[in-house]
Amino acid sequence: MTRTKAILAVVLAVALLAGPATAQDPPTGSADERIAALEELVESQETLIGQQQTLVDEQEALLNAYRCMFKVDVEVVPGGCPDSALSEAEAADAVLLCAGWLAEREDTRQRLAVWTVIAFRLNSGAIAMDNPILQQAAPNLDEYHARVSAVIPNLNSERLAGLMGGMADDLQAMTDAYARQVPANEMAALIFTSIDQLDELDAAIGEICGRFGR
């Protein structure tokens, strides 16, 4: 039995058990409407179960990472600990960054896709600097810059600190360029540079977090 069928069976069983107490209630809709409502309930339950399982998996992965890092109960880590040990500085940065990086990675990729489209359209002349799409996206630059800048002083590895610093500089350059309303192709070039920097930073964090056990 699939998970969907199992959940639906539970929902129907509860409805049947509750039947005598509610037998006098008037129907709330047609059979199709009631089935649709049940399917919607099943879908919401599946989503909740999926979210809970993701949380459990992430917590278990972090626990295994700490087991490997501190050499405690390593025999229970599925597949064993990674052979490539992190430096002390990298391990400290992994503790600082990995959970948040994993949680926000999909959202970051979606935002990155938006900026990539903006850059191509600016570069081709399809949109101008005063286009509403850019006006909506630009205010987020200050927020990104503040978040990246706040992390840098807490980093331990020179590699990540350098990449984060470069990312902060790129974001500041984009913010200044937008405020000055530079030519569209100049703004596009800054966006492409920032995207390349973010790709390199993402790869570096991904490598460290992967070796850390996330």
Domain map (residue ranges) of the chain:
3-56, 88-212
As a whole number of angstroms, the distance between CA 45 and CA 38 comes to 10
Residue 85 confidence (pLDDT): 63
As a whole number of angstroms, the distance between CA 49 and CA 53 comes to 6
Q: What is the mean pLDDT of residues 188-195?
A: 92
Among 38-47, 120-129, 182-191, where is mean pLDDT lowest? 38-47
One-letter amino acid for residue 176 of the chain? D
Q: What is the mean pLDDT of residues 126-130?
A: 91
Q: What is the mean pLDDT of residues 170-181?
A: 92
Where does residue 138 fall: left (phi above 0), alpha (psi -120 to 50 degrees), or beta otherwise? alpha
pLDDT tens track for 49-96: 877 888 787 788 778 777 776 667 777 777 766 655 667 788 888 888
For the chain, count helices (H), then strands (E).
Answer: 8, 0
Q: Answer whether residue 168 shows pLDDT above 50.
A: yes
Contact between 208 and 90 under an 8 Å Cβ cutoff? The reply is yes
Residue 190 confidence (pLDDT): 93
Residue 29 confidence (pLDDT): 66
Q: Answer whether residue 28 shows pLDDT above 50.
A: yes
Q: Answer whether residue 105 shows pLDDT above 80.
A: no
Q: Give the mean pLDDT of the chain.
A: 78
29 or 94, greater pLDDT? 94
Residue 18 confidence (pLDDT): 45
Residue 82 confidence (pLDDT): 62
